Amino acid sequence: MTHQLPPLPYDMNALEPHITANTLSFHYGKHHQAYVTNLNKLLEGHPLENSSLEEVIMSSAGKSNMVGIFNNAAQVWNHTFYWNCMKSNGGGEPSANFKEKIEKAFGGWDKFLAEFKDAAVTQFGSGWAWLVKDGNGDLKLLKTGNADLPMAHGMTALLTCDVWEHAYYLDFQNRRPDYVDTFLKYLVNWDFVESQL
């Protein structure tokens, strides 16, 4: 099985002015594509060569002899998920039902937004901030470094914000907090997030 770069769920300029086509052309067209290309090279002749992306991730997670495979496979998955977490004219609030679940889990909508932003801003170096459903069905926040992702920890990803510098540097320079604010206010695709439950 050759892994493919999945198409973006919108046009390259659909997230402007918040995330520019220039950023997406590098982030999607270069970074995401490189993970796909590298993964396919690493899997040539490997026992996992014909496995699904999720099978590759779960089979390589935590194995020191498969770090390269895990990193590239997880980053292919993470980026595909991240693109779907955004849409043109996104942000705002989810459905009343889902908002109620979030408020119950985090003690209020504004508290959730503040805690999600804090997770994204305080992730040291490169990584991801996530809203997840854990094995008990509870909503929680998680931050992961580099390529790490919720499925490797038995959790279901609902929402993610990419905080690798290449996700925001061309548009926001070193202002990660502004990027995360913009992501939450104008970009989150709550319909997609809820569909992951």
CA 62 to chain centre: 20
Q: Which residues of 80-114 are buried (b: 16+ CB within 10 A; e: fewer)?
A: bbbbbbbbeebbeebeeebeebbeeebeeeeebbe
Q: Is 79 helix (H, G, I), strand (E, B) or coil?
A: helix
Backbone angles phi, psi at 29, to 5 degrees: -70, -30
Instruction: Dihedral sign for Cα 97, 102, 108, 110, please.
Output: negative
Q: Is 142 helix (H, G, I), strand (E, B) or coil?
A: strand
Question: What is the spatial distance between Cα 47 and Cα 107, in angstroms, rounded to a whole number?
Answer: 46
Return binding residues.
27, 79, 162, 166
Return binding residues for Mn(2+).
27, 79, 162, 166
Gyration radius of the chain's alpha carbons: 17
